[in-house]
Amino acid sequence: MDVVSLSRLQFALTISFHFIFVSINIGLAWFLVISEMLGWRKRDGEIYVQVAKFFSRLFAVTFIMGVATGIVMEFQFGMNWAGFSKFAGDVFGPMLAAEGLLAFFLESSFLGLYLFGRNKVPRRIHWFSILVVAVGSTFSAFWILAANSWQQTPAGFIIIGGKTRLTSFRDAVFNPSTMLRFFHTVDATLIVAAFFTAGIASHLLLKNKRIDVAKKTLRLTIIFGLIVSVLQIVPFGHEHAKQVAVTQPEKFAVFEGLYETQAHAPMVLFGIPTTSPQGLKWVIEIPGLLSWVTFGNASATVKGIKDFPPEEVPPRALPFLAFRTMAGLGLFFVMVMLYGNVQLYRNKLWEDKKFLKLLVWSISLPVVASQLGWIAAEVGRQPWIIYRVMRTREAVSLSLSSEEVAFSIILFGLLYAFLGALYIYIVKREVN
């Protein structure tokens, strides 16, 4: 493999591993905000306090893992992507700086007060500390997503002397895809937290441990999980897909497996990618549905892969499969949480052993869906590192050799395998 491919592989490895902890951490912070508030406000609040105490330990471990794995991200831009840093540093750098100065320090400063201030500061102050942590985590995600969205839909800059120069920081930050990607991603972290906490609570119920904590947790997360799972499909996911159709039409065509430009464009429900020009076989589709869902008109024209320059079309199989699997998991999350709410209403949730086991086995699925979403977005952007401005092959560090990058991938792989095993061990120890 060449340096470009290896550098992309290394970045995919490090950022995907880091995002596991980010996706748990942001949603879990907001879960703690709700739990602490109920513990402070409700008459039977002590049990919610116990819920918060239990999950705050898992939150602390996850936060530490997120910090340890996140430091690598920003260093990689200088080590592996010097061409990108030189070209886009004046636009990209301020967003990363804002994330560190305005968001990360905010959440890390108040985390200590939350973890060690219980029963030492007034309840309002203690609750406020976890609220600031949650806001800081979400604010941190905003700046990272703004930077990534600028790569997807660049705005607010000009090119002078072979480098980007900001013309409007506001336009660069609030480019056409920032807010939709932000809501879509943050809601995904809430789904991750809902299944993470519901799965652990179900495990406790099946083991007949911490029954009161488990029941309160499961009741809260089943209701919360249904709300955020529905929101992920409509409006967040749907509106984000419509934005991609307008701003990155070749990516959208690959997502939908649409080869020919056509009115009454069909939506593919099932298809197997092939190497043929059309790209799919064994296709099951609904005529006109893609046009209607995307543009609100079944007769609207949707541009197909065939009408884009071949050198500007992303890889087709991986984004297509990633996007569809992600969407399928999204529907699965809604159905699981809907069933859970029905069982809760019927007062049969605690005795439904099969459903509790399903929740335990589903803990990792929202994380998988989030990873698939990033695979679809990032592979679907290729061959561009900045869409229609800079190609990925132009962004790599020229001084690196394939052997050096390959060696670093092996080291990162071994380190992350150790950290992942350590994290699972600590979580299992806390839960059991």
The predicted-structure confidence for 159-198, as pLDDT tens digits, reads as follows 998 899 999 999 999 999 999 999 999 999 999 999 999 9
**Range 372-376 contact pairs with CB under 8 angstroms and sequence separation of 24 or more:** 372/322, 372/323, 372/325, 372/326, 372/329, 373/184, 373/185, 373/188, 373/322, 373/323, 373/326, 374/15, 374/16, 374/19, 375/318, 375/319, 375/322, 376/255, 376/319, 376/322, 376/323, 376/326
| Domain presence at residue 284 | no
pLDDT of the residue at 399: 83
pLDDT band at 48 (very low <50, low <70, confident <90, very high): confident
**Average model confidence (pLDDT) for the chain?**
90
Q: Which helix (H) or strand (E) holds 14?
A: helix 3-41
Model confidence at 333, pLDDT cuts 50, 70, 90, reads very high
For the segment 197-213, the average pLDDT, to the nearest whole number, is 92
The reply to whether 282 falls in a domain is: no
Q: Is residue 211 part of a domain?
A: yes
Q: Is 276 exposed, middle or buried (0-12, 13-18, 19+ CB in 10 A)?
A: exposed
| pLDDT of amino acid 362 | 95
> What are 157's strand-pairing partners?
166
* For the chain, percent of residues with pLDDT exceeding 70: 100
Contact 24, 368 (CB under 8 A): no
Tokens standing for residue 189: 């972290």
Domain residues for the domain of 367 are: 3-261+303-431
Q: How many domains does the chain have?
A: 1
238-252 confidence digits (pLDDT tens):
999 999 999 999 999
DSSP secondary structure, 195-211, as one string: HHHHHHHHHHHHTT-SH
Give the model's pLDDT for residue 225. Answer: 94
Percent of the chain with pLDDT over 90: 57
Residue 432, both tokens: 């059991």
pLDDT of residue 80: 85
pLDDT at 388: 94
- What is the pLDDT at residue 277? 73
Average pLDDT of the residues in 304-326: 91
What the block records as the tokens of 381 is: 């952007």
Q: What is the pLDDT of residue 370?
A: 94
CA-CA distance, 72 to 63, in Å (whole number)?
A: 15
The answer to whether residue 296 sits within a structural domain is no
- Indicate whether 213 belongs to any domain: yes
Residues 63-97: pLDDT tens digits? 988 888 887 777 777 788 989 989 998 998 888 88
Question: Do the bridges between strand 262-263 and strand 301-302 make them parallel or antiparallel, or are there none, so unpaired?
Answer: antiparallel
pTM of the model: 0.94
Cα distances from 124 to residues 37, 114, 118, 121, 383, in angstroms, run 9, 11, 11, 8, 51
361 lies in some domain: yes
pLDDT tier at 336 (50, 70, 90 boundaries)? very high
Q: How confident is the model at residue 102 (pLDDT cuts 50, 70, 90)?
A: confident
Residue 285 lies in a domain: no
In a domain, 270, yes or no: no
